[in-house]
Structure 1
Amino acid sequence: MVQVHVVTRENAAQYAKELDSYFRWRHLIYVEERGWEDLRREDGLERDQFDTSAAVHLIAMIGPDVVGGSRMIRMSEPTLLSEVFPRLVQRGTVPRDHETIEWTRMFVAPARRTGHGEKSVAGALFCAVMEYCLAIGATRVGGVMETFWLPRWQRFGWTTQALGLPEEIAGSMTLAAFMDVNRKSLDGVRDATGWTQPVLVWGMEPGDAHATALTLLAS
């Protein structure tokens, strides 16, 4: 059973081991697998200037094992879009508000990439992103993304707004886009992935099988 833990500045110390695994997976996938050499580090941990205390990490776990993750940052903070790729925003201005969330560094461990069917780790992460954004009162989520994601957002019924034309970055066509956050968006991704119950875990200490998972947005 996949659970997606919400790791913030407040509880990061409880997740020290899991965060180490999470950053090692990011290095394996983004540097070793995808070839993003600018991110290579000798310690094997993929961190950048946006992995600050303002970042929230959604860490997917099966039992004690980290199997996927995503990074969430409010656009009122410095983000990948605002600081590195503002040129991708050609319609309007770069969002800088507290209610818009940048979503980056989505990954699934290779052994857990079981396709796009129901109850996949990826599906749990997609649901977790929308659950998290609804829980914190966000209105939009997205940022710098590859265009191959857009058909999947459409299958989820997500309303997506592109802020400019795609550009080739690191071998992939990439653009800035944001999706609306609302209950309809959550229902759509749950229907598409089969994760009909909340997947987020709030405040549970890793490894404590008897801890209570605090969840929001119960059906």
Structure 2
Amino acid sequence: MIEIITADNIHLYRTEMDEAYRLRHDVFVEEKGWCDLAHADHREIDQFDNHYALHMICRQDGRVVGYQRMLPTTKPHLLSSVLADLCEVERPVGEDIWEWTRYCVARPYRERGRTLSPVANALLSAIVEWGMESGVNRIIIEMEPIWLLRLVQLNFLITPLGIPRDIGKDSVVAVVAKFDCRTLEMLQALRGNSERVLQGQRLPNPVAAE
């Protein structure tokens, strides 16, 4: 199950968020070499971990093994404020478009080869479930180009926003990925069930509700 953490309930998840920040540091600083994100306490936290951020965590065996963050494009986010050079067209903005950032999975829970791991499937499914329940149907992603084909195979409709550029050890490209019920059905088919992965009641789009 995937748990959603927002400004309203983050006080209940202090331990889990500490684990999530450390996982982010392990993946983006230690593995990917994004040295600008390094912190002495090994907790990767930036200016976008704010009131508008929506965090999703996956817990197994008593610890956080998967994490991702969603940011509204109507507020400052990575593509608008930090990685603007990745976008060579008019930047997509709207209440129905959010930015998917800081996706990471702990090493023992990652896929091998082309197979999508259960944790990865749950995190992707959570985005689609939350989006379909919240009036969001597109996400901006800054990712390695190798992910493009994989997302297309999962029934995301991909539109590049520019050409790849080097960040740390990686080549990164910005895209808009559109999803719908067909995307969710593909993810459900791959994991062999149609159960909802999001824990708790359905949540509205926090920006649209302002």
Structure 1, residues 127-158: CA drift from partner, whole Å, max 9, x if none? Answer: 11111111211121123222111011011021
For residue 110 of structure 1, the aligned residue among 97, 107, 111 is 107
Report what 1:18 is aligned to: 16
Q: Distance in 2 between matches of 1:158 and 1:15?
A: 31
Identify the residue that residue 93 of structure 2 maps to in structure 1.
Answer: 96
- Where does residue 47 of structure 1 map in the other structure? 45
Alignment-derived partner of residue 189 in structure 1: 187
Q: TM-score, normalised by structure 2?
A: 0.89
Q: What is the 5 A alignment of 1:55-204?
A: 55-91=53-89, 93-115=90-112, 116-117=114-115, 120-194=118-192, 196-202=194-200
Cα displacement (A) at 1:114: 4.3
- Equivalent pairs counted in the alignment come to 202
| 3-state DSSP of counterpart to 1:201 | coil
**AA in 1 matched with 2:131:** C
Letter in 1 for 2:98: I
Q: Shift of the alpha carbon at 1:171? A: 3.0
Matched-pair contact (CA < 8 Å) for 2:129–2:198:
yes
CA–CA separation in structure 2 for the residues paired with 1:109 and 1:143: 20
Cα distance change on mapping 1:194 and 1:98 into 2, 3 Å: same
**Aligned-pair Cα RMSD in Å:** 1.8
Separation of aligned partners in 2, 1:12 and 1:94: 30
SS at match of 2:55: strand
Q: Secondary structure at the match of 1:142?
A: strand
- Cα distance in 2 for residues equivalent to 1:109 and 1:4: 15
Return the TM-score normalized by structure 1: 0.85
What residue identity is the alignment partner of 2:62?
P
Q: Distance in 2 between matches of 1:79 and 1:23?
A: 18
Structure 1 range deviating more: 50-59 or 134-143: 134-143
Distance 2:122 2:184 in 1: 12
Question: Could you report, residue by residue, the CA deviation over 1:109-136 in whole angstroms, capped at 9, with x for unpaired residues?
Answer: 1121243546621111111111111121
1:87 Cα offset (Å): 2.0
Unmatched 5+ residue regions in structure 2? 204-210
195 and 15 in structure 1: CA distance in 2 versus 1, 3 angstrom threshold: farther
What's the CA shift for 1:192? Answer: 3.1
Task: Name stretches of at least 5 consecutive residues in structure 1 with no aligned partner.
Answer: 203-213
Shift of 1:161: 0.9
